[in-house]
Amino acid sequence: MLIDVTKCIGCRGCQVACKNWNQLPAEKTQFQSSYENPPEFLPYTWTRVTFNEIGEGDNLQWCFAKRQCMHCREAVCVMVCPVEAAHKTKLGTVDIDQGKCTGCGLCQIYCPFDVPKVDQEIKKAFKCRLCLDRIANNLPPACVQACPTGALQFGEEQAMVTVAEARVAALQRNGHPKAMLYGKGYAQVIYVLGDVPANYKIPVYQGPPSVSYLWEWALKPVKSLFAVGSILAVLGNYSGLSAAKTEEEKEGNVA
């Protein structure tokens, strides 16, 4: 998926489309000092547009950036999840299996983009699923479908990178010398930025921090134990976990 923030007008059709398709409840919010709301990702707010006022006077810029899960190639949430709830799907997206999730919050703590959020009442983590149920049926994610300006595009990775690189080159030629491609290589959600990431309050990120490898290594025994447990459970005709495992396949069959 490509997010071209230079075409974003901050209308937030994507935010509403996400809640609509995924049937997520509205948050009770209050005016926060700018147009931005909700102020952060929440268990049931999976995408949001940030409104960043940069500079002042003649140099004032109002930078909009749609944020969501980056669906990292090497996803920290997957690496640190002790129960394999955070996982890579067959389509390559990063998903959280709430059937397995214990709400430990490690994904929330270690995600470099501060994306997953735990509903503390039910002890489950949630985040953007890249509309797995839509893309498995050859539909674009709901946010992409709703975007009026073409700021959001969805397609094969190489095609998106080609579009993005051409756009960055065009922007650099036309008065945006700092325009850049962001996320290529390590994320499957990539950005065309008109300026440096800081203007959009997007962290500079190059890949998983070493601590996450440490976590992955440290958690291996736990993960193995859990895997053994689930096999036993299946053998014992307890189908809850295996049903959750095949969820994506089921969604894939929804015509």
Chain contacts with another protein (rule: CB under 8 A): 6-13, 15-16, 19-20, 25-35, 37-38, 53, 56-57, 60-64, 148-150, 170, 174-175
Length of the chain: 255
Closest by CA position to 125, among listed 144, 135, 111, 143:
111
Shortest separation between residue 51's beta carbon and another protein, angstroms:
9
In the complex, minimum distance from the CB of residue 128 to another protein, in angstroms, rounded to a whole number: 16
Query: Cβ 208 to another protein, closest distance in Å?
Result: 32
Backbone angles phi, psi at 251, to 5 degrees: -60, -35
Q: How many other C-beta atoms lie within 10 A of the C-beta of residue 26?
A: 10
Of 31 and 221, CB closest to another protein: 31
Two tokens, residue 235: 């053998």
The tokens for 213 are 């490898």
| Shortest distance (Å) from residue 121 CB to another protein | 19
Q: How far is the CB of 164 from another protein (least distance, A)?
A: 14
Question: For residue 77, which of 89, 68, 67, 85 has the smallest C-alpha distance?
Answer: 85
**Cα–Cα distance for residue pair 235/67, rounded to 1 Å:** 42
> Of 19 and 129, which CB lies nearer to another protein in the complex structure?
19
**Residue among 92 and 150 whose Cβ is closer to another protein:** 150
CB burial string 147-181: b at 16+ within 10 A, e below: beeebbbbeeeeebbebbeebbeebeeeebeebbb
Question: Considering beta carbons, is residue 56 or 206 the nearer one to another protein?
Answer: 56
* Closer CB to another protein, 54 or 234, in the complex: 54
* Residue among 175 and 221 whose Cβ is closer to another protein: 175
Nearest approach, Cβ of residue 80 and another protein (Å): 30
Q: CA 53, CA 7: separation in Å to the nearest integer?
A: 17
Report the alpha-carbon distance of residue 255 to residue 4 in Å, rounded.
Answer: 30
Choose between 15 and 230: whose C-beta lies nearer to another protein.
15
Q: What's at 126, amino acid-wise?
A: F
Dist. CA 67–CA 161, nearest whole Å: 18
CB of 183 to another protein, least distance (A): 22
